Amino acid sequence: MSAMLSVENLGAWYGAARILYDIAFEVGRGEVVALMGRNGAGKTTTMKTIMGLIPERQGTVRFNGDDISRLRPFEIARRGLGFTPEDRRIFADLTVLENLDIGRQPPRSFPDGTPAPAWTPDRLFSLFPNLGEMPNRPGGRMSGGEQQMLTVARTLMGNPLLVLLDEPSEGVAPLIVEQMANTIIELKKEGLSILLSEQNIHFAKLVSDRVYVLEKGQIHWQGSMAELEANQDVQKAYLTV
Ligand code: ATP
């Protein structure tokens, strides 16, 4: 499988504090890859660094073969890399439909010319029926789980080729967690690639093909999801189980 996203020697700093060290990984086309580790391991920082949101960074990020390491965040987004932030960033005074409109970008194709999935509010409402029941509700009057769905839906309005999903299961009710897992499986069927950040193996194992385990800003283990499930030592050392 050729890598759609590849990261080499990634480093990041917040001021004088170094957070990431020599991070390297790949996400292939159509793959769901989990970046796993406990709170503070560096998952969010890795995603923000890929998106160009951390000014003090080093290393190479390639997307569809192009070096995007020095591009600005909006330039990276326009190439078809979608980012669903952990803190959601929903506009509280705007309705569901208006929040979706903010994410709208033109249709896109994969490098081989195959069209990427193209999303409309109607298609997203069939993927997230809860949102379809509240198109005119202001973002600020939705539950955490509904806001989480809206955040993913808004990212999809940009017709991305690959989505960085930062802890989609965090702080949402079990029913929504299950729906979120089904959504990821649907997106994979549509041909999208996903890099998922997650600390909980119970969610990650439902959807992920491969895993990279982070601790203190470094990758300590990598393998298939089946290998991680069988490896109690790695789970105990680095994950919430
Ligand atoms: P979480 O599940 O809590 O989001 P994470 O694995 O995503 O964890 P990061 O949020 O990337 O971890 O944090 C990695 C390290 O960077 C932590 O030690 C954190 O305290 C630190 N950090 C995060 N954001 C900042 C910031 N804006 N300024 C300084 N340090 C930060």
Mean pLDDT score of the chain = 94
Give the model confidence (pLDDT) of 75-109 as tens digits: 999 999 999 998 888 898 999 999 999 999 999 99
- The answer, yes or no, to whether residue 223 has pLDDT greater than 60, is yes
pLDDT attached to residue 241:
59
Long-range contacts of 117-121, Cβ-Cβ distance < 8 Å, separation of 24 or more: 117/156, 117/159, 117/187, 117/190, 117/191, 117/192, 118/159, 119/153, 119/156, 119/157, 119/159, 121/97, 121/157
Q: For the CA atoms of the chain, what is the radius of gyration?
A: 17
CA of 217 to the centre of ligand 1 (A): 9
- The answer, yes or no, to whether residue 160 has pLDDT greater than 60, is yes
Q: Which residues pair with 4 in a beta bridge?
A: none
- The single-letter code of the amino acid at 94 is L
Q: Is 4 helix (H, G, I), strand (E, B) or coil?
A: strand
CA of 79 to the centre of ligand 1 (A): 26
pLDDT attached to residue 183:
92
CA of 39 to the centre of ligand 1 (A): 8
Query: If one looks up domain 3-238 in CATH, what number appears?
Result: 3.40.50.300
- The answer, yes or no, to whether residue 1 has pLDDT greater than 60, is no
Burial (CB < 10 A; 0-12, 13-18, 19+), residue 106, is exposed
User: Which whole number is the average pLDDT over 146-161?
Assistant: 95
Which atom of ligand 1 is the closest one to the Cα of 37? 6
User: Which whole number is the average pLDDT over 41-56?
Assistant: 97
- The answer, yes or no, to whether residue 2 has pLDDT greater than 80, is no
pLDDT attached to residue 171:
80
Q: Is 126 helix (H, G, I), strand (E, B) or coil?
A: helix
pLDDT attached to residue 133:
95
Which residue shows structure tokens 């803190």? Answer: 87
pLDDT attached to residue 191:
92
Which tops the pLDDT comparison, 86 or 42? 42
- The single-letter code of the amino acid at 216 is K
Res. 153 pLDDT band, cuts 50 70 90: very high
